[in-house]
């Protein structure tokens, strides 16, 4: 039977792993990219019902004076506090998932859709993906990148990494793992190779 839905690729990786670079590479090769972080920002626009929900759960301290979400303040509350993080995920993830699925439904059925989702494994979103690509790198390298690119201390970087699922859990869910410990050129080549494999797999499913 013909595959009447777009072919869905779950793309994930730890914070600072290079997921966005992989998404850009796939986009250049013709993928339709759905970005969970971008959906999350849209859902939490000033005046949105979700902002109200977050403020009533975590207090008005998570709002800036203009009514927009203070992401840094929210991060301070939830990171390192499993109960708060679970409460945040409970508010956000069903909404992110619903919007992602709605975008998948609107995409061309012949498209390959890449769902770029940091918490793909943690939120059990693997279940609606045909294949999963995980961007993996050594934790020390990950910490270096976060300190360099996001103004975090080493302790903050390690805390953020520890808040996500373990590399083992993520890699266990992977159809393909792209290693990002090497050069940019090696990473781009690996992304291009995996894209070819994705296209073959999608073609096989549809034929």
Q: Give the pLDDT means over successive 10-residue stretches in the chain (207 positions).
A: 78 92 96 96 92 94 93 87 91 95 95 95 91 95 90 86 84 95 94 97 90
| CB contact set of 200 (below 8 Å; sequence gap of 6+) | none
> Cβ distance 74 to 58 under 8 Å?
yes
What CA–CA distance (Å, rounded) separates 101 from 59?
30
For residue 9, which phi and psi values (nearest 5 degrees)?
A: -110, 120
At residue 1, the pLDDT reads: 38
Is residue 33 within a helix (H) or strand (E), and if so which, with residue range?
A: strand 32-35
- Phi/psi of residue 166, nearest 5 degrees: -70, 160
- Go through the domains of the chain in sequence order and give each one's CATH number: 7-199 (3.40.50.300)
Instruction: Tell me whether residue 204 is exposed, middle or buried, using C-beta atoms within 10 angstroms of its C-beta: 0 to 12, 13 to 18, 19 or more.
Output: exposed
Quote the pLDDT of residue 25.
96
What distance lies between CA 151 and its chain's CA centroid? 20
Query: Which residue is it, tokens 């993928």?
Result: 31
Predicted pLDDT of residue 80: 77
pLDDT of residue 157: 87
Spatial separation of the C-alpha atoms in residues 59 and 7, rounded to whole Å? 40
- Say which DSSP state 67 is in: S
Residue-level pLDDT at 36: 96
Rounded to whole angstroms, the Cα distance separating 139 from 162 reads 10
For position 200, what pLDDT does the model report? 97
H/E element, 26: helix 19-28
Write down the pLDDT at residue 76: 86
């Amino acid at each position: 039977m013909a595959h009447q839905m777009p072919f869905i690729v779950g793309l994930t990786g730890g914070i600072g792993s290079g997921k966005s670079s992989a998404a850009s590479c796939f986009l250049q090769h013709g993928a339709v990219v759905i970005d969970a972080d971008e959906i999350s920002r849209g859902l939490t626009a000033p005046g949105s019902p979700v902002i109200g929900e977050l403020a009533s759960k975590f207090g008005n301290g998570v709002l800036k004076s203009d009514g927009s979400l203070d992401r840094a303040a929210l991060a301070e509350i939830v990171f390192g506090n499993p109960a708060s993080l679970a409460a945040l995920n409970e508010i956000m993830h069903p909404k992110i998932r619903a919007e992602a699925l709605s975008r998948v439904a609107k995409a061309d059925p012949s498209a390959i859709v890449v769902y770029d989702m940091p918490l793909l494994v943690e939120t059990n979103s693997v279940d609606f993906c045909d294949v999963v690509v995980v961007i993996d790198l050594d934790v020390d390298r990950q910490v270096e990148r976060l300190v360099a690119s996001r103004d975090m201390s080493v302790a903050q970087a390690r805390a953020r990494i520890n808040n996500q699922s373990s590399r083992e859990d993520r890699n266990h869910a992977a159809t393909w793992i792209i290693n990002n410990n090497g050069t940019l050129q090696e990473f781009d080549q690996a992304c291009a190779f995996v894209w070819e494999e994705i296209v073959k797999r999608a073609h096989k499913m549809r034929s």
